[in-house]
Amino acid sequence: MTDPIGVTHFDITDIAGSGEVVGGVDTHLDTHTAACLDHLGRLLAHAQFPATNAGEKQLLTWLRGFGDLAVVGVEGTGSYGAGLARLLTSEHVRVVEVSRPNRQNRRRRGKSDPIDAEAAARAVLAGTATGTPKTRTGIVESIRVVRTTRSGAIKARTAAINTLRQLVTTAPEPLRGQLAGLTTDQLIHATSALRPTTDLTDPVQATKTALRRLARRCQHLTEEVTDADTQLRTLTHQAAPALLERCGLGPETAGQLLTTAGDNPHRLHSNAAFAAVCGASPVPVASGRTHRVRLNRGGDRQANTALHTIVLVRMRHHQPTRAYVARRRAEGKTTKEVIRCLKRNLCRELLPLITQALTTQT
């Protein structure tokens, strides 16, 4: 069976009447709260465990103490529950990713960790939670952490440059006149070479000190970004060289799409599922005699941005794409509508490459 967005999941009838139990876990930074239900949905117990490797092992032992553990629904498999999800998968326990509880139910029943853990288990038992989480145990996880640190360095560098320019704007004369009008690279080079005195009571010397500090911070962050780019290029080429051979894809966009798919892309059973995860699938809004679709504003927006970047590059440099755009425009499609179609076509083109590459890795 598959859920509406196409993520592979188990058939809940596999445990119906079997006497097996279902677990649910509400994860947090310091503790995990688990609940256990029987196959009829009766609450057997709930308990709290430390969010450590030892505590997670105790949690698994506790759940197995109620019978054959069929499946565990875990909330936050991409954050606080990542370690628990890895442990359960390594112990051959089926893990289902659970979204936060329904707001209407939460308003009616209230909120607590035991209630949320029970809700996670009931979502699995009812079949409303079906997503298979990423394994986070392969080269794609390496790509993800490198991209995360690269993104943080870029944001910090941008903030430092903005602060640097702001200080130049308000700097005392003649320092302001000396630095005004320089490009970013020229400004960083010039301010990093400033030689202030130790008399910080003088605003000129204090400003020189601050400017030099910011400039050297920018230089350090630039080196960090450059190193991350080199590592990302190496990792993406090792993970999916065929992906980088496609027009419009580079280490950054390819790394994002690999991260979105995860180390186990077989959890996405079709290109339609991948498109839904990337927020590139049309959402039906038909009612009565009205039959139409709207833009999908869900999914991984960073993956959607990567698809958008690839499409823009192809619209400028890829002749088959240029011909497609001209044909669809002649049919009356707007540029935005054509871009949406191209994003959907990209998902259809790229998922087989991703799946083949990562399956080979494992």
For residue 67, give the CATH number of its domain. Answer: 3.30.420.40
Mean pLDDT to the nearest integer, 285-300: 80
Residue 131 lies in a domain: no
Tell whether 282 and 311 lie within a shared domain: yes
Specify if 64 maps to a domain.
yes
In this model, does residue 310 exceed pLDDT 80? Answer: yes
Res 77: pLDDT: 92
Chain centroid to Cα 107, Å, comes to 29
Based on the fold, state whether residues 76 and 94 are members of the same structural domain: yes
What is the pLDDT of the chain when averaged over all its residues?
90
47 in the same domain as 60:
yes
Q: What is the pTM of this model?
A: 0.84
Asked if 218 and 252 sit in the same domain, the reply is no
CB distance 258 to 140 below 8 Å: yes
Range of the domain at 235: 139-239
Q: What is the mean pLDDT of residues 343-359?
A: 94
Looking at the 3D structure of the chain, how many domains does it have? Answer: 3
Give pLDDT tens digits for 24-51: 999 999 999 999 999 899 999 999 999 9
Q: What is the mean pLDDT of residues 120-128?
A: 91
pLDDT digits (tens, 9 = 90+) for 56-89: 999 999 999 999 999 999 999 989 999 999 999 9
Q: Which ranges of the chain does DSSP label H, i.e. alpha helix?
A: 53-64, 82-90, 103-109, 113-126, 139-169, 175-179, 184-192, 203-239, 241-244, 251-261, 271-277, 301-317, 319-330, 335-361
pLDDT of res. 298? 87
Would residue 5 count as lying in a domain? no
Do 75 and 26 fall into the same domain? yes
Q: Is residue 133 part of a domain?
A: no
Whether residue 54 is found in the same domain as residue 156 = no
**Would 59 be classed as within a structural domain?**
yes
Residue after which a domain boundary falls, among 215, 239, 263: 239
